[in-house]
Amino acid sequence: MKRLKVPFLYFCLISTTLIVVFIILWRWNFYSPLTKWPSSIEIIAKAEKTNKKIIKVASYNIHFGTALNWDRKKCLLRQTFIDQLNKQAEILNKINADIVLLQEVDFSSERSHFIDQARILAKKAKYSFIAKAPLLKTHFYPNFNGTLGKLDYGICILSKFPIYNPYIHIFDYPQEIPFYLRWLYPLHGLQKVQLIIKDKKIDIINVHFDPFSSKTQTQEIVFLKNWLKKASNPLILGGDFNAPASLLEFDNLIEIVKQYLESPTYPSDKPKEQIDHIFTNKTSKLSYGYVEYDAKTISDHLPIVGYVKIE
């Protein structure tokens, strides 16, 4: 009996130690909870003065600065990311939108050599203000291109006009993902900011929905709909919804321009799916929109552009 007790005690001791170490590493790996926190605003240059009645808006998933057909088995060079960001900045310059909603942006990640992609695009495309919304910050993350290290990525808004009252909401992990695998799963969320144009407050919402779990996506849509019900200001809502507009079921909370929605945006080489959208509410009108096909495959998505008239 004594012979059995000793190995059992060792087993209990080792198991307890491993569990404690796992919990410590888990807590160390993730930064402080990011959910529902006000984000910072970075000012790159002086603001432009505007009395515009029509605002040009673009939404672009930049695929953390990589092209559609990049080699996932090779660690990409820093210069490769710089070249890709330069190409994406050229497209943003061509579009020349007043506001740009970006998804899948690296702010300071090992996989992209700690390049602040939002800041580079803002400088090269001549945007004065940046509102960053980090969705996931970890000390250690196994990245797609074979690198291991820090991850700091999310969504952001670039603007030529001053940005006010930035806010982030990060969605929960899908219930299908076990807790011990959640550190491998990229989080999704939305951010909200305000612009003031002609003494009117305008709400801007940038969205990135979960692409894999339909149940989680339904929960995200419900959350967003509850937000929209409270909206009293003119509203511009856009981003990567990872779903066609017909599945979003907004119950007439927003107006949809049909001519615009007929153009697919994904994948960028042979676009078949319309999963990137721009919407407005009753006090703002999306009068015209298009897909920027000249972007080609410098990301896995194509940019979308809309002209919004503020009533």
Q: Where are the beta strands (DSSP E) in the chain?
A: 41-43, 54-61, 99-106, 129-142, 148-159, 164-170, 189-197, 200-208, 235-240, 276-280, 284-291, 304-310
Do 223 and 213 belong to one domain?
A: yes
Is the separation of the CB atoms in 89 and 121 below 8 Å?
yes
Do 21 and 141 belong to one domain?
A: no
Q: What is the CA radius of gyration of the chain?
A: 21
Do 3 and 139 belong to one domain?
A: no
Do 223 and 240 belong to one domain?
A: yes
Do 284 and 222 belong to one domain?
A: yes
Do 5 and 68 belong to one domain?
A: no
Do 20 and 128 belong to one domain?
A: no
Query: Which residue, 162, 282, 185, is CA-closest to 234?
Result: 282
Peptide bond into 267 cis (omega under 30): yes
Q: Give the domain range for residue 9.
A: 1-30
Question: What's this model's pTM, rounded to 2 decimal places?
Answer: 0.86
209 vs 234, residue with greater confidence: 209
Do 153 and 259 belong to one domain?
A: yes
Do 24 and 112 belong to one domain?
A: no
Do 4 and 74 belong to one domain?
A: no
Is the pLDDT at 66 greater than 80? The verdict is yes
* Whole-number Cα distances in Å, 286 to 141, 254, 277, 283, 310: 40, 10, 11, 10, 9
Instruction: Give me the CATH number covering residue 224.
Output: 3.60.10.10
Looking at residue 29, its pLDDT comes to 55
pLDDT digits (tens, 9 = 90+) for 110-144: 888 999 999 999 999 999 999 999 998 887 677 65
Do 61 and 178 belong to one domain?
A: yes
Mean pLDDT, residues 223-240 taken together: 87
Do 8 and 72 belong to one domain?
A: no
